[in-house]
Structure 1
Amino acid sequence: MRAIGFQETGGPEVLHLVDVPRPVPGPGEVLIEVAYAGVNYGEVQHRLGDFGAPDTLTVTGLEASGRVAALGEGVGGLAVGDPVAAYLPDGGGYAEFALAPAEFTFPVGTLDLRTAGGAALVLTTAYGVLDGAVRVRPGDTVLIHAAAGGVGSAAAQIARALGVKAVYGTVSTPEKAEYALRFGYDEVFLREGFAEAVRTATGGRGVDAVLDPVGGPTRLESFEALAPFGRVAVYGEAGRHPDLTLPVLPVWKNNRTLTGYNIGDLSRRDPHLLRTHARAALELAAAGSVSIDISAVHPLHDAAEAHRAMQAGEVRGKSLLEIGG
């Protein structure tokens, strides 16, 4: 079968179209004939080596949609031919066929396969950060960095569905600010000097929660945008900055909280909770409360270009690879 693989870390040019054996599902696994695979920054990090160097040919891809091709032993509730979306904690989505854990494979309901191709990771992450990491409550105010990205655009809508009072965002360009406003943000600020803009917008109080996938100076400044008992949730490192060393006393003295969300860790240590988040988020999408804006669709052989655009910060909304159509 055709797949996109890499054997060494580096730039987008290390991604190559390869021919690999079609996988066979083991116990608790589902084999999916892939229609679409989401393109995510986590896959860019994988290719860059942030998760370690590959020991052999590696096929990345953390989410996909398609139809069930085969079921492993003990898998119930699904049938061959069913349209599904899946989160793939071990990768493999950039291929004509992918193995997914049954517990992270979901019927798409009313979603078309194109939309579902960008749903399983993005919606689960957005819901998990809001519900699990910062534990938003009705009436809260939220600030979301990278507001024009796949997770950011979904998180604004999910936050509204969870009853927050106001949603603010930050982006890197005015064009992205205009785009992000489509997803229910009250205001979207340019990232430089955003803490002061947030304090002004909230009458000096600050926000109850900040969602940060950027890191570095943005993460540090986020603490200055918090209301009393506000929470900063870390769920990525898109800026690829060195890790921060944070003093603890300002956290205590200013009633602040630092929390985190990592979908891979959750998949290993509490898969039931991850499945709960995913199902809740997918139900919101199926009901029309959350939409996914597919802004770019690349053929499988053009995966390197999809990665180049994402790494350069050119992507707004969700980018996909079309594999089976």
Structure 2
Amino acid sequence: MKAIKLQGFGGTDQLKLEEINKPTIKPDEILVSVKASAINRADIEKRKGNYPSTDFDPILGLEIAGTVEEAGSEAYGWEKGDRVFGLIPSGGYAEYAVLNSKLAMPIPEHLSFDEAAAVPEVFLTAYQTLHWLGELKEGETVLIHAGASGVGTAAIQLAKQAGATVAVTAGSQEKLDFCKSLGADITINYKEEEFADRLADTGADVILDFIGASYWDQNIKTLKTDGRLILIGFLGGTDLDNASIMPLLAKRLHVKGTLLSTRSMDYKARLTADLIDNVLPLLESQDVKPIVDKVFPLTEIAAAHDYMESNKNTGKIVLHVAD
């Protein structure tokens, strides 16, 4: 099979198209003929060697959409030819990949494979951070940084379904307008104004943050009493200078960090089951939808990585693997 293999940590020149053997499956796994995968920020950091994990993944790609090629003896309910998508630890940049049956989901009929590939990582992350970690309640206010990102666009839609007021930050009016079209109530251009000043009167009960250290002070200032800050990324750095813990005590704040890829199989399985129960019906009814910005063929993997690093995308960057 054809696969993009990472030769070593570094730039996009380390991503090479090679011919390798198909993976083999265990009894509880599915071999998927991959039609589409997607680019994630974690892929970029893994390529560079910056990801907080000791594992070297020669084939990147955290999510896939395709058809079942082979089902293990314990992969109950799946048969050859079934349309399936889900989260994988690595291996998505290839014509075949292994998916644990507990993490597999049926693709809604109206979704193409390219659209389906834009669902697993972002909707699982958005659901986990909003509900499992953020404990978002109806009537609360959530601030979603990088609102036009893949996770951001999913989180906006899920937060509105939960009855929350949604504030977002983004770096252009075009991205903010798109966030508003998805349901965002308050849009903030972080290049033109401080979000803490803009939200001084309303505050936020929950903040989803991909930026990290550079937003710390404003995040803490923005959170209401008993507010929850969920740290998902570190685009703005990891080290804090002269940070005080007094506001955390005074406002009884909760600060949680998460990496979905390093969670246990049991955790991911329970989260997937929750997504099947609570989000898949919304995808089927088209009350929420995956947002695909651009589709790159497998052979243009370097361009896809460059595009993500340029921060031009609104929604997901999809990798088309096969027809």
Shift of 1:249: 2.5
Question: Is the contact between residue 114 and residue 295 of structure 2 (CA under 8 Å) also seen in structure 1?
Answer: no
Matched, 1:33 2:33: yes
Kindly report which structure 2 residues correspond to 1:52-91, keeping only aligned pairs within 5 A, or say none: 58-89=58-89, 91=90
Provide the C-alpha distance between the structure 2 equivalents of 1:116 and 1:248, rounded to a whole number of angstroms: 42
Cα separation, 2, equivalents of 1:296 and 1:85? 19
Structure 1 pair 20/53, CA: closer, same or farther in 2 (3 Å)? Answer: farther
In structure 2, the partner of 1:150 is 150
Aligned to 2:296: 298
CA contact (8 A) 1:30 1:71 kept: yes
Per-residue CA shift, 1:46-102, capped at 9, x if unaligned? 1111235775x700000010000001231101111000011002x100000001111
**Of 254, 262, 266, which aligns to 1:265?**
262
Distance 1:131 1:2 in 2: 38
Is the deviation greater in 186-195 or in 246-255? Answer: 246-255
Partner of 2:221: 224
- Aligned partners of 2:184 and 2:293: how far apart in 1? 19
- Note closer, same or farther for the CA distance 1:187–1:124 as it changes in structure 2 (3 Å cut): same
Structure 1 residues without counterparts, runs of 5 or longer: none
**1:215 partnered with 2:216:** no
Aligned to 1:49: 49
Change (3 A) 1:188 1:64: same
Letter in 1 for 2:300: D
Structure 1 CA distance, aligned partners of 2:274 and 2:305? 27
1:20 counterpart = 2:7: no
Measured against aligned partners, the alpha-carbon deviations of 1:260-301 in whole angstroms (never above 9, x if no partner) come to: 332123344523322234323333212212111211000001
Q: Under a length normalisation based on structure 1, what TM-score does the superposition of the two structures give?
A: 0.92
Amino acid at match of 1:207: A
Q: Would you say the 8 A contact 1:263–1:274 is kept in 2?
A: no
Output aligned runs, 1:189-268, within 5 Å. Answer: 189-192=188-191, 193-199=194-200, 204-239=201-236, 241-244=237-240, 246-268=243-265
Give the secondary-structure state (helix, strand or coil) at the position aligned to 2:78. coil
Residue from 281, 296, 317 that aligns with 2:315: 317
Summarize deviations over 1:181-216 as a string: whole Å, max 9, x none: 2211012101241111122xxxx1411111101112
- The CA deviation at 1:323 is 0.7
- Deviating above 6 A after TM superposition, structure 1's stretches of 4 or more consecutive aligned residues are none
Native 8 Å contact 1:7 1:54 kept in 2: no
* Alpha-carbon separation, structure 1, partners of 2:107 and 2:266: 25
Instruction: Please name the residue that 1:125 is paired with.
Output: 125
Deviates most, 130-139 or 112-121:
112-121
Amino acid at match of 2:282: L
Q: Which moved more, 1:149-158 or 1:18-27?
A: 18-27
* Contact 2:7/2:16 (<8 A) preserved: no
2:11 equivalent to 1:11: yes
Q: Deviations over 1:241-266 (max 9, x none)?
A: 13337543220112322123321233
Contact 1:118 1:318 in 2 (8 A): yes
Q: Is the 8 A contact 1:210 1:232 kept in 2?
A: yes
Letter in 1 for 2:60: T
The alignment yields a C-alpha RMSD, in angstroms, of: 1.7
- Return the alpha-carbon distance in structure 1 between the equivalents of residues 55 and 209 of structure 2: 28
Q: Runs of 5+ in structure 2 lacking a partner?
A: none
Q: Is this contact kept in 1: 2:118–2:291, CA < 8 A?
A: no
Q: Which residue identity does 1:36 align to in structure 2?
A: A
Indicate the larger mover: 293-302 or 106-115.
106-115
Normalised to the residue count of structure 2, the TM-score between the two structures is 0.93
Alignment-mate amino acid for residue 83 of structure 1: R
1:281 and 1:6 mapped to 2: Cα distance?
A: 33
Deviation at 1:130, TM superposition (A): 0.5
Q: Contact 2:220–2:247 (CA<8 Å) still a contact in 1?
A: no
Sequence identity (%): 30
